[in-house]
Amino acid sequence: MRSLPLPLALTARLSPVAVLACAGWALTSGPAAPPAAAHRPAATKTPAESSSSAPSSTSASKAYATAPAPCSSVPVATVTSLVPGAKTAGKEIPSTDTKLRRTCSWNALKGYDYRWLDVSFEISESDQEARQEYQQRVGEKSGGGAVPGLGDSAYSVVNLTTEDKQQTREGVVLARISNALVIVTYNGSDFESKKAPSTDEINKGAIKAAKAAVGALEGGRG
């Protein structure tokens, strides 16, 4: 099967370590182009946890002291199904403080289909600090919905971008568990049709990976 040249935005994403190393550490944020359309996943829209639910006390509640190993947080079978052709061991992205932040990436181009998966863990000093960070990030990603039964609170959003007539659809899941945040990014493109996978496929894939990552955190694996 003949190979096809990749759009510049996705070519850059195929070598994430070199890009992110220059910045120290950063979360994947998808293609550089602004979202062309936002799609609401099949979930009840809940922008963020109500500010009234925040505890009046500022005392720290630190259930998690360190971030788990992200590359072992998602089962091999899940990686294989979401990112066909990827090395299941994944690639951990350099972090300035691995106790507080750790990210693993998987990406592969199989035939004409490209898939990318990121799983990140962030540890805050307290539940309240993590809650505030969660609310801020949800507020920056409108058009999504709540994910029931995932951590203390969770939110999912899917966006479509188009660059050089090539579509890419990306899903992001944010979950808070006590003083920890789990952030999952999952996207894909088809370079033959120049279309993107469906919203449902990307949303379900991102949530599946997020459930595995949350389970790894809560189970103390890694």
pLDDT one-digit tens code per residue, 78-89: 999 999 999 999
Residue 167 has pLDDT above 60, yes or no: yes
The answer to whether 100 and 168 are in contact (CB under 8 A) is no
Phi then psi for 146, rounded to 5 degrees? -70, 155
User: Global pTM?
Assistant: 0.74
Phi then psi for 173, rounded to 5 degrees? -120, 130
Domain regions of the chain by residue span: 8-49+61-219
Radius of gyration over every alpha carbon of the chain, rounded to an integer in angstroms: 17
Mean pLDDT confidence for 21-25: 34
Both structure tokens of 166 = 């090539």
Which stretch of 16-25, 142-151, 174-183 has the lowest confidence by average pLDDT?
Answer: 16-25
